[in-house]
Structure 1
Amino acid sequence: MDRTTPHDDPLADGRPLYWRVAARLLDELHDGSVPPGGRLPGERRLAEHFGVSRETVRQALDVLRRDGLLSTDRRGSHAALPGPPARSAAPLAFPVGARPAEPRTGDRATVAWEAPPPEHAAALGLVPGRPTLVHRYASATADGAGRRTAVTSFSAVALAEVEELARYRDRADGVSSAQLRRAYDWMRGAGLTLHQRDTITPLTDTASVRVVRRVHDQHDRPLEITELVVDARQDALVYEFTLPAAG
């Protein structure tokens, strides 16, 4: 008997729950929510999305995997529908304001597992005093001018969804060097769509500006907040974006 995918089966609603979930997930893949080759959200997020158990999601993924519509490796499940592969966007350096060149002797970046600033905790939905991964970045030109300092706090969602970030918890001593310049690539690789909002404010009586970046995912869940202070007397902030053409 020929195998029939859930998408092709008009009687899918009469099938077990996992089959109906597989059909709904396949419809979303056909709609382009995950491009060919793109990584699917994790089982827990899919279970929340469809309102079912993780075991049901696991069975649904097995159905699509058997029909060659998904491929799975150690990083998760990926859409295997025919079509052009997902295009990689131009890398966006982390943190906001990081100089585009490779790290130099004047650059310093560390991570600590500690309670974030109160305003960061509020923005990330963390209980006050609850520790999280906090990244600190400092950079200055050879003559000491153009100093930049940034403090970033990551949310519980980011640490749960992005394996590369979660690994830093055990070595977040606040002293050892920790360059996270690919943090946004890691987030995108985990299936998160990044929505960022930057607020730039001149600081009174100084030549510096403060930039606050808030990043959410496609479900409006906070991922990180960064506060950057830049000595703007001899420096400039440059933001570079690449947007795909419509259609």
Structure 2
Amino acid sequence: MARTTPHAPPSAGGEPLYRRIATELLGELHDGTVPPGERLPGERRLAGHFGVSRETVRQALELLRRDGLVATDRRGSHATLPGLPVETPASLTFPVGARTAAPGGVARATVTWEAPPADHAEALELAPGRPTLVHRYRYAAADGQGLRTAVTSFSAVALAEVEELARYRDRADGTASAQLRRAYDWMRRAGLTLHHRDAITPLASTPSVRVTRRVHDQYARPLEITDLVVDAQRDALIYEFTLPGRAAQTATDRRRPPVRRTAGPSHRR
């Protein structure tokens, strides 16, 4: 049986305080302060943000839930307004460098359960020799040129938080095709806010370049690391970015405590 809680006292204008807070929170959802599909801050943080009690926040969230604007599961509350997530597949593709196969092009992706490369283990805070889910991607044009190869290792956090990834452990034999194109969508649906840093390094004495992507969540926990090698003789690496509007960005800076962020490349090759 649901617990009945007393309503918050009316605000100065006669409107219940929780309803006003629900309206203000809905405004922040609309202006992108909390992106669609992302996990909302906890009740304690929202209470401090709006200067009200946690009970008032709880009632405001319940009002938004009844209107279908917020959904709550075991990982917390999520905005359900229609709209694109903060990072769309066009700007954050898994694995980095993955391409839509051109006529005659061949793409291959598999997963294994094995100890990752030593530098991957260190980046993911895994003990040396500890196995994890490793994804391998290979793409080549019909004539064999434009080769792209990527190796991705996932952290223990990613496998614990993202059910869709964890399911691959039992079939990670390195033979069956494993398309994880929606990996970042799965992470977002699990309530993780993604931050990534891409480093581009030319490879000595070759026309190829290496792109290393590191992804972590809102708690600075590592989620995955990918090393992509591209035959850059005729290929181009294109990075696309969408920045929030100035008003929304200012509101975010004002209302949220600082979060450590790292910037990816801001140029086109």
**TM-score relative to the length of structure 1:** 0.71
Q: How does 1:1-247 map to 2 (within 5 A)?
A: 3-4=6-7, 35=34, 38=37, 40=39, 67-70=62-65, 77-79=76-78, 85=82, 87-88=84-85, 89-91=87-89, 92-101=92-101, 106-246=106-246, 247=248
CA shift, 1:102, in A, is: 7.8
Structure 1 residues 80 and 151, CA gap change in structure 2 (3 angstroms): closer
Matched letter for residue 175 of structure 1: T
Structure 1 residues 244 and 38, CA gap change in structure 2 (3 angstroms): same
In the aligned structure 2, how far is the partner of 1:79 from the partner of 1:148?
A: 36
Greater displacement, 161-170 / 111-120:
161-170
Structure 1 residues 183 and 79, CA gap change in structure 2 (3 angstroms): closer
In the aligned structure 2, how far is the partner of 1:103 from the partner of 1:135?
A: 24
CA shift, 1:72, in A, is: 5.1
In the aligned structure 2, how far is the partner of 1:130 from the partner of 1:185?
A: 26
In the aligned structure 1, how far is the partner of 2:106 from the partner of 2:200?
A: 24
CA shift, 1:2, in A, is: 7.9
In the aligned structure 2, how far is the partner of 1:3 from the partner of 1:79?
A: 24
Matched letter for residue 4 of structure 1: H
Match in the other structure for 1:19: none
CA shift, 1:180, in A, is: 0.7
Point out where structure 1 has 5 or more consecutive residues left out of the alignment. Answer: 10-25, 51-59
Structure 1 residues 171 and 143, CA gap change in structure 2 (3 angstroms): same
Matched letter for residue 227 of structure 1: D
Match in the other structure for 1:53: none
Structure 1 residues 109 and 80, CA gap change in structure 2 (3 angstroms): closer
Structure 1 residues 184 and 141, CA gap change in structure 2 (3 angstroms): same
In the aligned structure 1, how far is the partner of 2:142 from the partner of 2:172?
A: 28
CA shift, 1:100, in A, is: 3.9
RMSD over aligned CA atoms reads 3.7
In the aligned structure 2, how far is the partner of 1:237 from the partner of 1:201?
A: 12
In the aligned structure 2, how far is the partner of 1:151 from the partner of 1:191?
A: 25
In the aligned structure 1, how far is the partner of 2:74 from the partner of 2:146?
A: 39
**TM-score relative to the length of structure 2:** 0.66
Following TM superposition, where does structure 1 have runs of at least 4 consecutive aligned residues deviating by more than 3 angstroms?
A: 29-41, 63-81, 84-87, 100-105
- The sequence identity of aligned pairs, in percent, is 62
Point out where structure 2 has 5 or more consecutive residues left out of the alignment. Answer: 11-21, 46-54, 249-269
Preserved contact between residue 214 and residue 226 of structure 2 (Cα < 8 Å): yes
